[in-house]
Amino acid sequence: MKKFKHINARTLDEAVSLLGTYKRKMEIIAGGTDLLGVLKSEILPTYPEAIINIKTIPKLDYIREEDGALKIGALTTLSEIAESSLVKDKYTALAEAAGRVASPHIRWMGTIGGNICQGIRCWYYRYPHHLGGKLICRRKGGSMCYAAVGDNRYHSIFGAVSGCIAVNPSDTAPALVALDAKVKTSKRTINAEEFFTVNGPKTTVLDDDEIVTEIQVPVPDAGTESAFIKFALRESIDFPIINCAAAITCAGGTVKAAKICLNAVYNNPYRATVAEEAIVGKSIDETNAEAAGSAAISGAKATQNNKDKVQIAKTLVKRVTLLISNSF
Amino acid sequence: MGKEYSVIGKPVPLIDGIEKVTGDAKFYGDIMLPGMLHCKILRSPYPQADILSIDTSEAEALPGVELVLTYKNCPIAFWKDLHYAGDLVASVIAVDEGIAQEACDLIKVEYNPKPFVLDIVEAMKPDAPRVFPDRPNVVPGWAGGAPWLPHPWFYYSEKDPVTGLWTKREFCDFQGFGDVEKGFSEADVIVEDDELNYAYTRVHVMEPRGCVAWFKNNKLTVWSHSQGLYRDKETIANAFGLPSNGVNFISPCTGGSFGGKLGNWVKGGVFGGTGVGLIPIFATLKLHKPVKLVLTREEEMLCGWSRGSWSKGKLGFKKNGTLTTMEIEHWVEVGPDRCSHTLGTCHRSTGCMLYAHNCEHVKIKAGAVFTNRFECQGWKGYGNPEATFLVETLMDEAAYVLGMDPVELRRKNHFRKGDPLADSPMYSDVPVNAQISSCGLEECLDQGSKTVGWKQKWEHPGGKMGLIREGLGMGLMVHGAGPVTGASFSSAEVRVSSDAHVVFVTAAADFGHGQHTAQSQIVAEVLGIPYENVRIVCHDTDSTPYAPHFHGSSGTWQQGWGTYEAALDAKRQLLELAAPKLGVKPEELDIRDAKIYVKASPGKCITFAKAFLVEHGCNMIIGSAGTWPPDYRYVPREQAAQFVDLEVDTETGEIKVLKHVCAHYVGQAINPKIVEGQLHHIGGVEAARWCQCIADPQTGRLLTYNFENYPVATIHCRIEPIIVESPGGDPSHPFGAVACGEGGAVPTTAAFGNAIYNALGIRLKSTPFTPDKILKALGKI
């Protein structure tokens, strides 16, 4: 690890102004569970001059329901969200997702803000500098995507974005998309889906001087249930091979509305709109759930190494749908 | 079971347990010395390259840098030819790690990258790029001494018809005995399989490799982890041409080793192929300042690989299931490890030992294969898991072909006590007529199958339908442990005070396997004192008596005689002192509960203090011994049976383990808690389920460089240990112990593969059994 300045921000305004001062030569730290790995392995072409600690900003750690929405402060830890009875009861997918992130230690450290802003896990992107030199891949401004020609078993099944086939690894992101959440930042409030829809080598649309401050999840309509499931090698401790969240509104045994989101299959959380269309207006049974699963992977472009992910994605969409139907 | 002991066989707490859980225990990483310097290593970006030029001037000019080492000024640790991505190019020694790392980036190197090979099967092809230009990639045979030379194999040409023991061993171009052609022609059923592949996997330890070295006043002191303090000290002295008393090797606690820190001898020389020992030692000899090197976790992941194998086999049976003939071809990947004992990790003879009871004809062809995939080292299992994967997969296939229960097929064929030691060429210094000293396999099969519910649940595969399919599988194993004449001399000193407390001094290393506890139990048992009265001192080679380097899961066995004899020597002296005071002869006395008593009338007793009084004139007795095991003809073997009950999700390819039972024969458990700990052996589970070396096909870089990409097993992988003992234990150890440790990883992949076959009717031939392979086998993708 190289030397850098460590600055404790006391207010949001101070943090934002520090971001302006250091331009791109800084990083924000909250839980640090993602950032420390980046710094220790020296994976990026540039190294930050300063780390701005936002944990010292008061009142960014809360879970409350007000004005028709669940509001979660950006510094709220994943374990607080996973254990909140309010979140578990009404925003099940989010509580489940937060509870399936990594290990207890990381859930105690990691924040919701950090979880949705985290970087990719591509093993080429993260190659440690001290093992023969970092790999300057497409995402870092290099000319090639090592994964595209290399071992891409954990990479995108829906193609590349800007020549990069890495996937978004967040567990909470698909839950927020399925629950139609909004992300409030130091300068705006945007839909979660929009927040993750990026075309370049980033995981969010945040500007360089922008900080996530709050997550807002609208109170679900009556008759709505949500769920989250995750497929990983070693249960929760691993990043997902694929995860899937859904929120479904039913009336009289028929699906009125559905939002289904896969993650770790594409550069951003992948809203399976075709699957949603396939299930809306129908009852949830094995056949219809299976059809939704198949619809979700229409247009999949697996590589030679990750065809299993297509099969698993299909299964997860089916299972999450069936899981929700059991809640009604 | 067996004799009544007061300390042996009891689950006493670890002697260093409290120190370790409170963080009080010291490891080499805790050593901080005044003016200590730190090393960082520059590593190769290419899997195969020559260094054309190297310019260290800028690095040397950086303030804080004291020394830069390359092949030019430190040829013992650095070479001009590089053979894996991450190979050692240079090292910077500086006042702190940050400066050292910064200076590494200032070294300018011009490389000539060359073709490379990352796959064992590819490497075996005649036109494959050579890992070393001066020798082929394939090294046939056992290669212990001069590894790059094809080494002669042993063929047993004569057997005593009465005893059934081997009487003559000759050199040959394969290994084995009997006549396989004849065997197969007479067999009723022949089962064969090929292209079984055990993935290249690795040993991981919580404490990364490294050391601190300080050359001062013409004496070198080294602090490091160790499996054998004296061996490490001798290796260092030899490597640097120092007199053996010019080196003091200090080993504080060792944070796990599992064989991976045993080290090798030439390139990389000290503490494993990484050269981590060589760099700081070379630097301190030059600078006369303390120098420390600690590998990062990612660097640690570059070393300690092993196990990759490609094998095929053929078994011949009589109709009734009697195994008569075995032919095996077995190749083991050793990375670019040209000079170490890892070339010998082909435990090819495992199968013929396991089934030595009936098998009359054996032919084994085996060897090592070089690739450009990272540093290879022997570790827990030492070639046996991959050999057993082959043999136990074949046995499972045979059971189905023969229409027999797999457990019954094993029962019929496994070795018995007194059978010839058919795998002894592994240990060429074992007498040719050696025989197995005890067998617990029958009991392992009984208890294991009972616990998993084999009789109630097992059924032939094929008919199972449904989304989730359950399967049962098993694997049997034997592991070459016990005597190696060169590594079984042990010694100890037992200092008995008049208050019946003992300081027990030995260089017997404890690298997390509980050896200090087990050996202290032996001392307490022999002296008839409470375990709590023993304190162990195992510090360095200057002040503690010799112990061998522990390996082959045999620490308890290797050190057992030395400890036992030293304690016995103290006891003898003590009884001689006590005898006149009790008015009897020493042989009429014994000790229990720290009292010396007359055997014929136990009420007549005195304390140690009374025995020490007057005549002795001091308050200490020193018992000591240096000894070899008394007999090499009766040889113990580690033995086990594992059973797996699992479910396969046919939609996702996921495996869920319902029950994993490990029944392990240990002769006599010195400490059952420690033995249980050994049996919670996750190495086999992770190899069966998730773990493999993945190198980027384009760049040769290691992609499994952390525990995220190399998903090691966790505490959730539950194993149910069953300790199997025999009355009186094994006759080769003073307290009946048989080696225990490595075997836990050995039959696991076979047991998992066999359970998957039982669930799906599909045979997976390469580890790990990941979801993608299962989905593919099911035709889902």
In contact, A294 and B635? CB cutoff 8 Å? no
Cα A116 from Cα A205, distance rounded (Å): 11
Cβ distance A308 to B781 less than 8 Å, yes or no, reads: yes
- What average pLDDT score do residues B400-415 get? 96
- What average pLDDT score do residues B397-415 get? 96
- Of the candidates A121, A131, A135, the beta carbon closest to that of B43 is on A131
Report which of B551, B467, B555, B415 is spatially closest to residue B780, judged by C-alpha positions. B467
Q: Angle, nearest 10°, between helix axes B384-402 and B748-760?
A: 30
Distance from CA of B706 to the nearest CA of A (A): 10
* Per-residue pLDDT tens digits for A139-164: 999 999 999 999 999 999 999 999 99
How would residue B147 be classed by pLDDT, with cut points 50, 70 and 90?
very low
Predicted local distance difference test score (pLDDT) of residue B235: 87
- Is the ipTM reported for this complex over the cut 0.90? yes
DSSP for residue A203? S
Report which of A212, A202, A239 is spatially closest to residue A44, judged by C-alpha positions. A202
User: In the predicted model, what is the mean pLDDT of chain B?
Assistant: 90
Is the confidence at residue B744, as pLDDT, over 70? yes
- Of the candidates B296, B653, B709, the beta carbon closest to that of A123 is on B709
Report which of B26, B24, B34 is spatially closest to residue B292, judged by C-alpha positions. B34
Q: How many CB atoms sit inside 10 A of residue B245's CB?
A: 11
What are the residues facing B664 on neighbouring strands? Answer: B640, B723
Q: Does B778 touch chain A (CB under 8 A)?
A: no
- What average pLDDT score do residues B449-465 get? 91
- Of the candidates B705, B772, B775, the beta carbon closest to that of A128 is on B705
Is the confidence at residue B736, as pLDDT, over 90? yes
Cα B592 from Cα B578, distance rounded (Å): 14
Distance from CA of A269 to the nearest CA of B (A): 21
Neighbour-count burial for B397-426, b at 16+ CB within 10 Å, e otherwise: bbbbebebbbbebbbbbbbeeebbbbbbbb
Cα B486 from Cα B361, distance rounded (Å): 30
How would residue B447 be classed by pLDDT, with cut points 50, 70 and 90?
very high
Q: What are B356's two structure tokens?
A: 């030595």
Q: Which carries the bigger pLDDT value, residue B219 or residue B744?
A: B219
Is the confidence at residue B208, as pLDDT, over 60? yes
C-alpha Rg value of chain A to the nearest Å? 19
Residue of A nearest to B777 (CA): A308
In chain B, count of helices (H) and strands (E)? 20, 33
Cβ distance B705 to A234 less than 8 Å, yes or no, reads: no
Burial of B64 (C-beta count, 10 Å sphere; 0-12/13-18/19+): middle
In contact, A259 and A246? CB cutoff 8 Å? yes
Consecutive H or E run containing A284: none
B-facing residues of A in 101-140 (CB < 8 A) are 121, 123-124, 127-128, 130-133, 135
B-facing residues of A in 8-67 (CB < 8 A) are 40-41
Predicted local distance difference test score (pLDDT) of residue B776: 97
- Of the candidates B689, B698, B771, the beta carbon closest to that of A150 is on B698
Q: How many CB atoms sit inside 10 A of residue B141's CB?
A: 24
- What average pLDDT score do residues A24-45 get? 94
In contact, B448 and B410? CB cutoff 8 Å? no
Task: Return the number of CB contacts < 8 Å for A and B.
Answer: 100
* Per-residue pLDDT tens digits for B149-180: 444 566 777 778 887 777 777 766 677 888 99
* Per-residue pLDDT tens digits for A179-220: 999 999 999 999 999 999 998 778 999 999 999 999 999 999
% pLDDT > 70, chain B? 92
* Per-residue pLDDT tens digits for A269-304: 999 999 999 999 999 999 999 999 999 999 999 999
Q: Which long-range contacts (CB under 8 A, 24 or more apart) does A58-62 make?
A: A60/A12, A60/A113, A60/A213, A60/A214
Q: Does B296 touch chain A (CB under 8 A)?
A: yes
Cβ distance A311 to B694 less than 8 Å, yes or no, reads: no
Q: How many CB atoms sit inside 10 A of residue B756's CB?
A: 26
Report which of A194, A196, A200 is spatially closest to residue A264, judged by C-alpha positions. A196
Cα B498 from Cα B617, distance rounded (Å): 11
Concatenated DSSP letters for B177-224?
A: ES-HHHHHHH-SEEEEEEEEEE--EE---SS-SEEEEEEETTEEEEEE
Helix residue ranges per DSSP H, A66-129 = 78-83, 85-90, 92-99, 104-109, 112-117
Residue of B nearest to A154 (CA): B709
Query: Could you tell me the pTM of the whole model?
Result: 0.95
Which residues on B lie below 8 Å from A40 (Cβ)?
296
Which residues on B lie below 8 Å from A127 (Cβ)?
701, 703, 705
In contact, B725 and B2? CB cutoff 8 Å? yes
Phi, psi (5° rounding) for residue B684?
-70, -40
In contact, B387 and B350? CB cutoff 8 Å? yes
B-facing residues of A in 135-174 (CB < 8 A) are 135, 146, 149-151, 153
Residue of A nearest to B694 (CA): A151
Which residues on B lie below 8 Å from A311 (Cβ)?
651-653, 775, 780-781
Cα B369 from Cα B348, distance rounded (Å): 14
Which residues on B lie below 8 Å from A238 (Cβ)?
708, 711
How would residue B277 be classed by pLDDT, with cut points 50, 70 and 90?
confident
Cα B250 from Cα B539, distance rounded (Å): 6
Q: Which carries the bigger pLDDT value, residue A82 or residue B682?
A: A82
Distance from CA of A231 to the nearest CA of B (A): 9
Predicted local distance difference test score (pLDDT) of residue B143: 41
Helix residue ranges per DSSP H, chain A = 12-22, 35-41, 78-83, 85-90, 92-99, 104-109, 112-117, 146-149, 172-178, 192-196, 273-279, 286-296, 307-327
* Per-residue pLDDT tens digits for B48-101: 999 999 999 999 999 999 999 999 999 888 999 999 999 999 999 999 999 999
Predicted local distance difference test score (pLDDT) of residue B149: 42
Residue of A nearest to B99 (CA): A2
Helix residue ranges per DSSP H, B508-620 = 515-527, 555-582, 608-612
Question: For residue A276, how many C-alpha atoms fall within 13 Å in the half-sphere facing its CB?
Answer: 18
Question: For residue B439, how many C-alpha atoms fall within 13 Å in the half-sphere facing its CB?
Answer: 23
Q: What are B271's two structure tokens?
A: 């503490």
- What average pLDDT score do residues B742-760 get? 95
Predicted local distance difference test score (pLDDT) of residue B426: 45
Q: What are B283's two structure tokens?
A: 């630097």
